Structure 1
Amino acid sequence: MTDFLIKSTMALSVLLGTYYLLLEKEKFHQFNRFFLLASLVISFVIPFVTIEIIQEVASAANNNSVVPEQITTNIVEQKTSVYLIFAWIFYGIVTAVLFFRFGRNLYKLIKKTKSGIKRPYQNVTLVLLKEQTLPYTFLNTIFINEEEYQKNKIETELFTHELIHVNQKHSLDILLIEIIKTIFWFNPIFIFYKKAIQLNHEFLADEKVVKSHNNVSFYQNLLLSKANQSPVYYLASNLNYSITKKRLIMMTTTTSPSRGFFKKTILLPLLTGLVYFLCTKTVAQETKTKATVNKETTKKQSKYDSYYDKTTFKIKDDKGTVVAEKKYKDLTPAEQKAVPNVFEGVKFPATKEDVDAKLEKGGPDTIEIDLYDPKNQKVKGPEGTIYKTANLTENPSYPEGIEQFYKFVGQNFKVPVTPAGVKLKGRVYITFMIEKDGALTDFKMLRDIGYGTGDEAIRVLKLCQNWIPGKINGEPVATMYSLPITIQSPD
C-alpha cells in the first residue's frame, strides 16, 4: 500500500505540475480535460506496472558443484502493529463520515430535482426553485430561480453556459473526483485536481458562449455582475465557479497551432520518463541453468558429493614436487577451486545417460593439484579493482558455511505485513561487496517479491558478521557477490 501511495502521488504531482506549466494557459480545453482525467487513471495504474530490466548475475554456487535450488529461510512472522490497526480504524471512520456527507449532498440534489417545478428546455430539464440562486447544473438538470425565469431575467448567455455543462457531461467528472477525494481524503493533491477540472469546465463553457454570442465584453461584464453570489453545491457545475482573472483573460487568448502542437509533443517524452522512473525494475537472472529441486536432482547431488570419495589428491609445491596427499573434504578452498570440473570430457550437450554414467563411475584414483600452474593463477588488477568470483583463486565464504548463513538470515528475517490471505513466496536477489577484511558493504536490491522483502533482506545482511574474503593467489581482494534468498512465509 505504501509503495502504491508513493508512486501514485509522485505521478499525480508530476502530471498536475505539467498541466499548470504547459497546458492550463493554452486554448485547447478539450485536450486539457482529457489530460486531467487521464492523469488520474495513469496515476492509479502506474504502481501496478512493472517493466523488468534483466541483469545477469553470477550464481553463488561454486563453479564445480551443484547446489540445491531452494534454500528456504525459516522466517519469523511479524505481528501487525497496534498502531497500524488504530490507523486503519481511524481511516475507516473518517472515510465513512465523508461518504455520508457525499451521499447526503447527492440526495439533496436528487430531492431538489424531484420537488421543484420542471420545465423542458432543448434537451435538458429546468428545475425552478423558490430560493434566490445563480443557475447551476447537475447531470441533465439545470436549476434556476423561478421568479427570474418567469420574468425572463435570465440572460441567454447563462443558459448557453449551463447547457455546455450538461451536453459535455461535466457532472460526471465532478462525481469521479469527489469519490476519489472521499477515498483518498488524506492526500491534498486531489483538491488541486478538482479545482483544475472545474476551472477547465468553465473555460469550455465560456469558449462556447463567446463563439455562440460573439460579444466578449458583454459576457465578461455579465460574469462580473454575478460574482458576489456563491456556489451552492460542491457536486454541481456552477456559473460563478472561480470568476477569476484567468477566466476573463482566457476569453481573449489565442493559441497558435504550432505552439499547441509543440506543447502536446513534449508530453510524450515526459510520460515515457515518468513510466521509466516509476515502473522499471532491475531484476537478477542467474547465468547458470537452473534445476528444479526434486527427487532426481537430490539423487544427482548425492552422487556428486560422493564422486571424489575414492580419489587421492596430490598437492604440489612451487617446484612441482608432491608435498601432500589429501581427500577432497580436506582440500583448502583454493585447492578445491583447482579441482577439474566433474563433467570435464563429457560431450556437449550431455544426455541424461552420459551424466548418470559419469557420476556412477566416480572420480579417478589420483588427481594432481598444482596451484602454481599458470592456469590456476589469476592476474591481480590495479589497486581498487573489484573482482567477480570467476576471477578469484579462492571464493569468499561465510565462516561457518553457507547453510549456517541461510540459517542466520532465517532467524533474523521478519516477514513484512501483507494483506489477509497473501503468502510471500519467491526469491530476493541482493548484490553486495565483500571487502578485503570480509565486511559486507554496498548493498543493492536487484529483485524482490514486494511488501518490503528486499529492504528487510538488506537490513538482515547488514547485521551479518564478516565473511572470509575472496583471494587472488592468497591475497585478499574486494569481491562483488550476489546471493539469492528464497522466502516462503509459513502456512
Structure 2
Amino acid sequence: MIAYILKSSLLLIILFVVYKLWLENEKMHGFNRFYLLSSLVFGLTIPLQLFSFDTKISKAINAIRLPEIVINNNAQNLNSLTNNQTITYSLFALYLIIALLLTIRFALNLYSIHKKIKYNKSQIINNQKVVLIEDSILPHSFLNTIFLNESDLKNNLIDTQLIAHETAHIKQKHSLDIILIEAIQILFWFNPIFILYKRAIKLNHEFLADEAVITQSESVSHYQNLLLKMASNQSQIALASSINFQITKKRLLMMTKKESRLRAIIKTSVVGFVFATLFFAFNTTTIAQGSNRKALNEPPIFLTDTTENIQQPEFPGGMTEFYKFIGKNFKIPKDASKNKVSGKVIIDFYVEKDGSLSDYKIAHDLGYGLGDEVIRVLKLSPKWKPGTLNNEPARVMYKLPITVQEDK
C-alpha cells in the first residue's frame, strides 16, 4: 500500500507541475479541464499495474531480501513486532475515523443543498431552475440549479451576466468534477496534492464560465468590473460553483488573452508525450535472465529492485506472523551459546508455485549449527500463498538475514 501511495503521489505531482508550468496560462480551458481530470484518473490507476510491459535484461538473478530478524534469549524482538503491529492497526483506525468524518461532512453539505431546494421558492429563468434564498448570498450553482438572493432578484440587482455565468457552470456539468475530487479527497485525505488539484479545477471552471459569458457579451470590461465588485463579498458555498471563487489578476487577464492554435497543438503534443512516457515508465517489469537458468521454461524469479505487476508470496497471517514464527521456533545451539557467538546468518530459500518452501542454501554462516537451525525452522513453515508475476504462478527466491545476539 505504501508503494502504491508513493508512486501515485509522484505521478500526480509530476502531472500537476506540468499543468502549472505548461498549461495553466494558456487559453485552452476545455483541454485543461480534460487534462486535470485525466491526471487524477491516471495517477490513481497506473500504480495499480493494470498493464505491464516486460523488459528482459541479462544479469545474475537476485532475491527478495527480507527485513533482518534479531534472535536472542529474551522476548524483546517479539515485543517489538507486536508493538509495530499495534501501531499499524492504530494508524488504520485513525484513517477510517477521519475518512468517516469527512464522509459525514460531505453528506451534510449535500443535504444542506437539498434543503435549500426543497424549502425555498423556485422559478425558471432562461430555461434554468432558480431557487430563491432569503439569506444574503452571492449567485451560485450546483448540478442543475442556480441559487439567487430573492430580494436582489426582485429589485433587479442581479446582472444577467451573473446568471449566464452560473448557467455555463450547469451546462458544462462542473458540479460533477467537484463531486469527484471531493470523493477522492475523502479516500486520500492524508495527501495534500489533491487540495492543489481541487483549486486548479475550480479556477479552470471559472475560466470556462467566463469564456462562455464573454462570447455572448459585447463589453468585456463591464463583466470584469462586475466581477471585481462581487469579489468584495467573501462568502462561499461548499460544493457549489460560485461567482466569488478567488477573483485573481490572472483570471481577469485571461479574459483578454488571445488563443494561439499553433501553441495549442504544440502544447497538447508535448502533454501526450509526457503521458506516454509516464505510462511506460510505471508499467515496465524488469525480468533478469540469469546465466544459471537451466531451461527457457524455468519459472521467473523476482528481482529486489522491482515490484512491477508482481504479487509477492504471503505467509499465513502476513509477514509479521512469519517473523513471530521464526522467533518462536528458533533455538540457539548449545555450542553457539557456549562460545557466545554473535553475528549474521543468511539463508536463501524458494517459495514454490504451490506455496511450499524448497532449495534451502546457507549463503553466510557463523558455524556452530546456526545455519542448520535456521533451515530446520524454515522446514517447519506451513505453505505460503504463492506469488505471481504477470498473473502467472511464479517461483520466488528469498534471502533471510538473521542476526544472532547473546544476552548481556
TM-score (normalised: structure 2): 0.69
Q: Which runs of 5+ in 1 are unaligned?
A: 61-72, 294-395, 416-422, 429-447, 465-491
Query: Hey, what does 2:31 align to over in structure 1?
Result: 31
Regions of 4+ moved over 4 Å:
56-60, 76-80, 290-293, 396-400, 404-413, 461-464
Once the two structures are superposed, the pairs formed by residues 294-373 of structure 1 within 5 Å of their partners are: none
**CA-CA distance at 1:10 after TM superposition:** 0.6
Report the 3-state secondary structure (helix = DSSP H, G, I; strand = E; otherwise coil) of the residue aligned with 1:212. Answer: coil
**CA-CA distance at 1:285 after TM superposition:** 4.6
Larger radius of gyration: 1
Distance 2:364 2:265 in 1: 64
Query: Hey, what does 2:241 align to over in structure 1?
Result: 237
Query: Hey, what does 1:251 align to over in structure 2?
Result: 255
Report the 3-state secondary structure (helix = DSSP H, G, I; strand = E; otherwise coil) of the residue aligned with 1:213. Answer: coil
Report the 3-state secondary structure (helix = DSSP H, G, I; strand = E; otherwise coil) of the residue aligned with 2:124. Answer: strand
1:20 maps to amino acid: K
Q: Retained in 1: the 8 A contact 2:53–2:283?
A: yes
Query: Hey, what does 1:137 align to over in structure 2?
Result: 141
| Per-residue Cα deviation, 1:132-165 (whole angstroms, up to 9, x for no partner) | 1110001000000101111222111101100000
Distance 1:59 1:188 in 2: 39
**CA-CA distance at 1:173 after TM superposition:** 0.4
Instruction: Note closer, same or farther for the CA distance 1:210–1:462 as it changes in structure 2 (3 Å cut).
Output: farther
TM-score (normalised: structure 1): 0.58
Query: Hey, what does 2:183 align to over in structure 1?
Result: 179
Distance 1:261 1:426 in 2: 45
Q: Retained in 2: the 8 A contact 1:409–1:461?
A: no
Distance 1:14 1:59 in 2: 32
**CA-CA distance at 1:183 after TM superposition:** 1.4
Query: Hey, what does 1:14 align to over in structure 2?
Result: 14
Alignment equivalent of 2:196, drawn from 192, 203, 207: 192
Instruction: Note closer, same or farther for the CA distance 1:161–1:408 as it changes in structure 2 (3 Å cut).
Output: same
Distance 2:371 2:55 in 1: 29
Once the two structures are superposed, the pairs formed by residues 454-473 of structure 1 within 5 Å of their partners are: 457=398, 460=400
Report the 3-state secondary structure (helix = DSSP H, G, I; strand = E; otherwise coil) of the residue aligned with 1:25. Answer: coil
Alignment equivalent of 1:272, drawn from 270, 276, 285: 276
Is 1:222 the counterpart of 2:226? The answer is: yes
Is 1:147 the counterpart of 2:151? The answer is: yes
| Per-residue Cα deviation, 1:181-232 (whole angstroms, up to 9, x for no partner) | 1111110110000000000000000011111112111111000011111243
Q: How many residues align?
A: 313
Q: Retained in 1: the 8 A contact 2:60–2:288?
A: no
Report the 3-state secondary structure (helix = DSSP H, G, I; strand = E; otherwise coil) of the residue aligned with 1:81. Answer: helix
**CA-CA distance at 1:289 after TM superposition:** 2.3
Once the two structures are superposed, the pairs formed by residues 275-286 of structure 1 within 5 Å of their partners are: 275-285=279-289
Distance 1:20 1:85 in 2: 38
Distance 1:210 1:410 in 2: 79
Distance 2:211 2:177 in 1: 19
Is 1:288 the counterpart of 2:290? The answer is: no
Instruction: Note closer, same or farther for the CA distance 1:410–1:96 as it changes in structure 2 (3 Å cut).
Output: farther
Query: Hey, what does 2:387 align to over in structure 1?
Result: 426
Q: Retained in 2: the 8 A contact 1:231–1:241?
A: no
Query: Hey, what does 2:214 align to over in structure 1?
Result: 210
Distance 1:165 1:191 in 2: 21
Is 1:42 the counterpart of 2:20? The answer is: no
Instruction: Note closer, same or farther for the CA distance 1:156–1:407 as it changes in structure 2 (3 Å cut).
Output: farther
- Bigger Cα displacement from structure 2, 269-278 vs 199-208: 269-278
**CA-CA distance at 1:410 after TM superposition:** 8.8
**CA-CA distance at 1:405 after TM superposition:** 7.5
**CA-CA distance at 1:53 after TM superposition:** 1.4
Distance 2:375 2:271 in 1: 46
Query: Hey, what does 1:327 align to over in structure 2?
Result: none
User: Which protein, 1 or 2, shows the higher relative CO under an 8 Å CA cutoff with sep ≥ 6?
Assistant: 2
Instruction: Note closer, same or farther for the CA distance 1:263–1:115 as it changes in structure 2 (3 Å cut).
Output: same
**CA-CA distance at 1:23 after TM superposition:** 0.6
Distance 1:111 1:94 in 2: 26
1:38 maps to amino acid: S
Is 1:121 the counterpart of 2:82? The answer is: no
**CA-CA distance at 1:81 after TM superposition:** 0.8
Instruction: Note closer, same or farther for the CA distance 1:87–1:211 as it changes in structure 2 (3 Å cut).
Output: same
Please tell me the root mean square deviation across aligned C-alpha atoms, in Å.
Answer: 3.5
**CA-CA distance at 1:279 after TM superposition:** 2.3
Identity of aligned residues (%): 38
1:117 maps to amino acid: K
